[in-house]
Each structure stands twice: as structure tokens, then as C-alpha cells.
Amino acid sequence: MVEALRTPDERFVGLPGWDHPPSYVEDLPGFEGLRAHYVDVGPRDAANTYLLLHGEPTWAYLYRKMIAVFVAAGGRVVAPDFFGFGRSDKPVEQDVYSFDFHRNYLLRLVEHLDLTRITLVVQDWGGLLGLTLPIDAGFAPRLSRLLAMNTGLALGVSPGKGFEDWRAYVAAHPDLAVGALLKRSVPDLTEAEAAAYDAPFPDASYKAGARAFPQLVMTDPDMPGVEVSREAQQFWSAWDGPSFLAVGAQDPVLGVPAMDRLHRMVRGAPPPLVLADAGHFVQERGDVVARAALTSFSQGAGHAS
């Protein structure tokens, strides 16, 4: 049995812009005894299901502005919290967290919910993991469209000094000040919104997942996840479905150059929508991105010919 902490429910009461009821599953194969949280809103028989995958060190709250747009458009939205984040349980030992631990969780959750007609929406680690899901035979038939922001595939090389500095910073600050980090990246974030990003973490003992993610980024060709990411690169180079890319240009690590690389990788993808004044957490401008994506999809853009 994996030792894990569970954030008290009261920490999630009254968060600004967040009134979605929690959904939980505790019996995913391979994760027995761990409770996973996800948001599941909108009609179950919707024509499109939006699977929203967050990154480091956030949770489903990051997508609140996009959720509203997708639901208003008639979609179903499923936004899970990775283990270690949000309302999902948080294994105490950092060694529990691995690329396969997180990736298998996503695959099992999609199977459990039997999601189909998926628009895969990814950012940061949501993309490092989510972009590899389609090479799984059980996931590929469920996929319809891609929306990617400030992310990419980790193929065994360092993203550069900006990332190495971030990795070192997290290693040196085990009690990572999550809300303050978000506030620095998104200056117009309110204090209450910044506090919502702190809500999952009563103290440093809850932050093993946040500490682990930067160390797991595949910066060496021998690291776990590189092989499956290279297979995913081949998948997206042959992709024939609709796609939409957006980038917060102020991101020093996964900004315009990174998204240009992803643009070249995803067959038929239109050039990224560049939000010049947005940074890494581009979902804080998510209403703009979501509406632009829906317009692009409705016009048939981003579909390989």
C-alpha cells in the first residue's frame, strides 16, 4: 500500500471561479487505495469530450476559464488532477512518482470513464505525458482533436538553461511556494486565485509530486519515457486529425521556440496562436484560447490534407 496524504476538503471551499463538484475514483487498476479526483461537467453524450491535462505545479483549477467556454459550446469536460496535485491523493515518497506512474494513471482513467471523441487539451507536463497517450492502442481510437499550449515531447535532450535553472530551484526549495510562483508568472492574478493554487498543499509534506516533476523531465536519452515519446513523435508526424496550438510568448522554457518545434512535429497543424503578453500558464487567458480553438475547429482548420 502506497502511503499517501489527502488534502482536507475544506481547503477547496469558496475558490474564486470554481464551483465544480468533485468526482472521485479509488479502484483504478494498478492504483488501488489511491483516490483520484477529476472534474466531469457537461452532457455525457456530447459530440466532443475535452480532456484537460494540467502540469507542474498546478491542478484542474488552471483550466477554469477554458472549462466555461467548452461547456457553453455543448461539450463534456473531464479535467483530472494528477496524483500529487489538486484533490487527488498525494503519495508521500517522491520515488513513487515516475513517468509511467502518471501516464498509466491517465490511460486507466480514460478507460474507466470510457471517454470517446476526445479533444486532447494539454500544457506543460500535461503534454509531456498526454502527447504520448495515442500510441496506446486503447487510446488512439478515442482521439479526435488536439489543442496544445506551452508544451512538447521530451526526447532526451535538455530544453536549455532556463529549464535547468528551474529544476535546480525546485530541488533547492522543497516547500515550493506555488501560489507565489503563479502570481509572479501571472501578475494580474488576484490574491484569492493565487491562494487557490496553494489549496492542495497544506504544508511541504504534500508536495512530493511537485518536487518530482522537474526531476522526471527526460533530459537524457536513457531516462524513462524517452522511447515512448519518440514513438509519439512518429504518431503526430502522421496525424490526420484537427489540431490547434497556442503559446504564451513570455514563457522562458516552453515558449515560442518550443511551440514552433511542436508545430513542425504535428502534421497539418496551423501556426500557433501567439499571446504576446501571456506566460507559461497560458490557461489564465484560456477563454481567448478556447474560443479561438473552437473557431478553428469549426472552420476545418488544423486538419491535415
Q: Which of 81, 89, 136, 251 is catalytic?
A: 251
Residue length of the chain: 305
Q: Which of 20, 37, 102, 280 is catalytic?
A: 280
As a whole number of angstroms, the distance between CA 273 and CA 47 comes to 25
As a whole number of angstroms, the distance between CA 52 and CA 127 comes to 10
Q: Which of 124, 136, 173, 263 is catalytic?
A: 124
Task: Spell 44-63 as b/e; 16+ CB within 10 A means b.
Answer: eebebbbbbbbbbbbbbbbb
For residue 280, indicate whether it is catalytic: yes
Mind giving me the DSSP string for the chain? ---EE---GGGGTT-TT--PPPEEE---TT-TT--EEEEEES-TT-S-EEEEE--TT--GGGGHHHHHHHHHTT-EEEEEPPTTSTTS-EESSGGG--HHHHHHHHHHHHHHHT--SEEEEEETHHHHHHTTGGGSTTTGGGEEEEEEES-----SS---HHHHHHHHHHHH-SS--HHHHHHHHSTT--HHHHHHHHTT-SSGGG-HHHHHHHHHS--STTSTTHHHHHHHHHHHHT--SBEEEEEETT-SSSSHHHHHHHHHHSTTPPPPEEETT--S-GGGGHHHHHHHHHHHHHTTTTB--
For residue 89, indicate whether it is catalytic: no
For residue 100, indicate whether it is catalytic: no
Q: Which residues have a catalytic role annotated? A: 124, 251, 280
